[in-house]
Structure 1
Amino acid sequence: MQLDKLFQMQKSLDSYIEGKHQLQNEDLFDRKVLALLVEIGELANETRCFKFWSIKPSSEREVILEEFVDGIHFILSLGIECGFDELPLEVSNIPSLLTITEQFIHIYDRVGIFKKSRELNDFMMVLELYLQLAALLGITYEEMEQAYIQKNEVNYTRQHNNY
């Protein structure tokens, strides 16, 4: 996955949004953490992985992919907040041994740790766990990158239309 390219796209989007809403001098870290947690929850809801009481299947793949990349937007944005977009980041391809439900819980836990530390190793753990979740959901890096680019365009359009 081309993190440099996605970081640049996210940085441009963040700058546009912050300028449009006069947020350049505000600390948005906590709001972005909460937004990420909400997006992770929305993704979990679409997968229905935890809904043991229901036989209804998960949402269509495109819906899950779109929800997934919403999380990528906020992970990248948090990395930018901490200055990690300027570093050469290497993402490991170690597969998860957890179930999808366990992976979601692990991600939530690690987001909380990163929120407190704001350290690179904790950020990388969140990113890697989220990418492991992609693999568990059958999402490839190529699909993820293409969906991110498409959603980034949607986000600009929303801003132009006063979303």
Structure 2
Amino acid sequence: MNLQLQSLFEMQNELDRRIERDRGLENEDLIDKKILALQVEVGELANETRCFKFWSSKAPSDKEVILEEFVDGLHFLLSLGIILPYDVPKQMQVPELIQESLVDAFLKVYEDLTILKNNRNDVNNYVTLMEDYLMIGRLLGFTAEEVNHAYLSKNEVNHTRQDQGY
């Protein structure tokens, strides 16, 4: 998956600025809240995949539901890249698929988030988080085109929600 991030960062920045302006948050440090929001979104994604639910034989949610959850997390991941004090890559090539379980990939993202929270000043921590999060998408079988399309759709929904006082 080779995801072009430039336009996604720009759209996310527009949404973030709108929310901050409308909510009077321009001077508030939102990094920890965004890290927690991303942790929650990662958990919601894992829940929809059911990859850790060894006690259940229920199938994962439909691909569209899982993709929407993946993109919800991507919104906060991009948002963190905007707010942190460094220049982030505008294109990301996810490494070839390795023999890694989905459970391991989720746990790695949680570990990356803890590292990022404790050391925000190293851009490499953010890049690793982005690569590992996109690896989840690859393990789930998403293409860059699917992620892009789903992001655009969800970004539109998020703007509509703001219009409605969400």
TM surpasses 0.5? yes
Any idea what the Cα deviations from partners look like across 1:110-155, whole Å, max 9, x if unmatched? 1110111112100000000011110100111110011001000000
Are 1:123 and 2:155 matched, yes or no?
no
1:99 maps to 2:79: no
Q: Letter of the 1:93 partner, please give it.
A: V
CA shift for structure 1 position 92: 3.2
SS at 1:106 equivalent: helix
CA distance in 1 between partners of 2:14 and 2:91 (Å): 22
1:65-94: CA deviation from partner (whole Å, max 9, x where unpaired): 00000010000000001144x444452331
Answer with 93-102 or 107-116: which moved more. Answer: 93-102
Q: Which runs of 5+ in 1 are unaligned?
A: none
Count of residues in correspondence between the two structures = 162
TM-score (norm 1): 0.95
Q: Partner residue of 1:137?
A: 140
1:160 and 2:163 matched: yes
CA contact (8 A) 1:48 1:58 kept: yes
Q: If the length of structure 2 is used for normalisation, what is the TM-score?
A: 0.94
CA RMSD of aligned residues (A): 1.2
Identity across the alignment (%): 51
Partner of 2:35: 33
| Shift of residue 2, structure 1, vs aligned partner | 1.6
